[in-house]
A = this chain, B = another copy of it.
Amino acid sequence: MNKFTDTSNRKMAKLIKKKKHEIGLSPDELIFRGTKKTEKVLLRIIDFDANSLIEEVVKKVKDIVEFQYKDTVTWINIDGLHNTEIMQELATTFNFDSMVMAEVMNTDARPRVIEYDNCALITIKMLSQEGNSGDTIVENLSLILTESVLISFQERRGDIFEPVRERIRKQKKRIRNGGTDYLTFALLDIVIDNYLYVLSLLGEKVEKLEENLLVNPGKDVINQINSYKRELNFLRKSIKPAKEMIFSLAKMDSELITEATDVHFKELQDNISQASDVSDGYRDILSDQLNIYHTTISSKLNDIMKFLTVFSVIFIPLTFIAGIYGTNFEYVPELGYKYSYFIMWIVMIAVAIGMLIFFKRKKWF
């Protein structure tokens, strides 16, 4: 029970956000509004074009400066958002509006696309499965997209984007020839693939439940259904606004997104729609399961009650007969006959059998 309460709190906590002292802050105030999830901020750079590839981990923002003016695509991945100094330096280096970094540090914000003069900011929730506990982790991903640089901000260190790095390293033609917009697509594609993956993990649990439901619907089933419903609602909270965001991204008329990648963003739309469909599907299944559970339970209870009632009812006339001959009247003719007692037994058994047949015919048990 404890565990259940805990996870539910953890999840509900995502809905609660505004603290009193945060009200009225200037929107470009650089304050980290999330929970610090990693110790040290890590800056990883991959700089590439069709022919060249540089990959390194840098310590300071100024080590990035050189990449800014190159024609190549530069992908700066930053794990950890709590260091306001680094944020400030990034803003200065790339000449971002002061609001951009404030937005990045506000990890509670809704998924969205904002266009600024010299860049576009894309934020989305990443869902992943924690290895040990099997808990679903939500993390805010922010992407700042300029013509030749893509900066991605993650809250914790993770290797979620490793497949993309791998594709870059292996000289996959399309990604090495694409711009920052194609890289953006590749990253978002992984995020949405993870939605589908997390959904399918939940789906397997729901399937297993299905079998239990039909074989042996115990009390834990209802708790599990409720807990899966909650988990699903929790996932939907990320998927729904992400869908909105992806659709408005695909409609966006920005120079940062070339026509060639339009078709890829359409694919993103299809994938997020599919994620949304799948989550709808599981919601329907869970609500059907809940109905089946309730029907099963109540029909089982009805059967028990009917059995017990029929059982009781059969004894009622028998006990009545016994009561009759327990009376102490002086003149009860039946009492004197030698076989009365046995006749009483025969009558009782006849009554009982008669009632049983009657109930059986009426299909009452």
Contacts and interface: CB of A to CB of B under 8 A. Distances in A.
A95 interface: no
A319 interface: yes
B310 A12 contact: no
Contacts of A316: 311-312, 315, 319
Contacts of A319: 316, 319-320, 323
Contacts of A302: 301
A341 B324 CA distance: 9
A328 B41 CA distance: 92
A338 to B, nearest CB: 5
A285 B12 contact: yes
Interface string A220-233: 00100010011001
Given A12-B203, A328-B335, A197 B323 contact: no
A8 interface: yes
Nearest to A12: B207
**Max chain B C-beta neighbours (<10 A), residue from A166, A210, A274, A333:** A274
A325 B329 contact: yes
A304 interface: yes
Interface in A1-24: 1, 4-5, 8-9, 12, 15-20, 22-24
A301 B301 CA distance: 11
A42 interface: no
Contacts of A308: 309-310, 313
A174 B28 contact: yes
Interface stretch (A107-115, A135-143, A144-152): A107-115
Counting every copy of the chain, the complex holds 5
A26 interface: yes
Contacts of A278: 15-17
A190 B24 contact: yes
Contacts of A304: 306, 309, 362, 364
Contact of A174 (B26, B116, B320): B26
A55 interface: no
A319 B319 CA distance: 8
A194 B330 contact: no
A325 B315 CA distance: 15
B18 A197 contact: yes
Contacts of A199: 16, 18
Contact of A211 (B5, B206, B301): B5
Interface in A155-212: 161-164, 166-167, 172, 174-175, 186, 189-190, 193-194, 196-197, 199-200, 203-204, 206-207, 210-211
6 contacts: A5-B211, A23-B190, A110-B277, A233-B284, A325-B328, A328-B332
Given A114-B267, A323-B323, A326-B327, 13 more contacts: A1-B215, A4-B214, A5-B211, A12-B206, A16-B207, A17-B274, A20-B197, A24-B161, A24-B166, A24-B193, A312-B316, A315-B317, A331-B339
Interface of A: 1, 4-5, 8-9, 12, 15-20, 22-28, 98-99, 109-110, 112, 114, 116, 161-164, 166-167, 172, 174-175, 186, 189-190, 193-194, 196-197, 199-200, 203-204, 206-207, 210-211, 214-215, 219, 222, 226, 229-230, 233, 237, 241, 263-264, 266-267, 270, 273-274, 277-278, 281-282, 284-285, 288, 292, 294-295, 297, 299, 301-302, 304-306, 308-313, 315-320, 322-341, 344, 362, 364
